[in-house]
Amino acid sequence: MAATDLKKLLERAQTWPEEAQHELVAIANQIENELRGPDYPVTQEELRIIDAAMESIDAGDTATDAEVKAAFAKFRRA
């Protein structure tokens, strides 16, 4: 694929619905991360989410056994 092909695709993608554009960016980021190697470059947003989850767990806000079983049952059906 030539660089011009990539540029043309990106120009066309600007006319796509916003959700499709976000998906393209996510896929491109995933490819780039895989090319970089085994280190995962965590984003500030991901760190914020992890910190919030840890605070929630520390505060005792965890799922009950019944909620965990229900979640697994739901995903096993999908």
pLDDT in tens, 12-26: 999 999 999 999 999
Range of lowest pLDDT (6-10, 25-29, 32-36, 70-74):
32-36
Q: pTM for this structure? A: 0.46
Delimit the domains of the chain by residue range: 3-36, 44-77
**Segment 37-78, tens digit of pLDDT:** 777 778 999 999 999 999 999 998 888 999 999 999 988 875
Closest to 46 measured CA to CA, from 63, 32, 59, 29:
29
- What are the backbone dihedrals phi and psi of residue 42, each rounded to the nearest 5 degrees, phi first? -65, 140
Helix or strand (DSSP H, E) at 7: helix 3-13
pLDDT of the residue at 45? 93
pLDDT of the residue at 78? 59
pLDDT of the residue at 36? 80
d(CA 13, CA 20): 8
Residue 34 pLDDT more than 90?
no
d(CA 69, CA 60): 19
Spell out a b/e string for 17-49, using b for 16 or more CB atoms within 10 Å of the CB, else e. Answer: eeeeeeeeeeeeeeeeeeeeeeeeeeeeeeeee
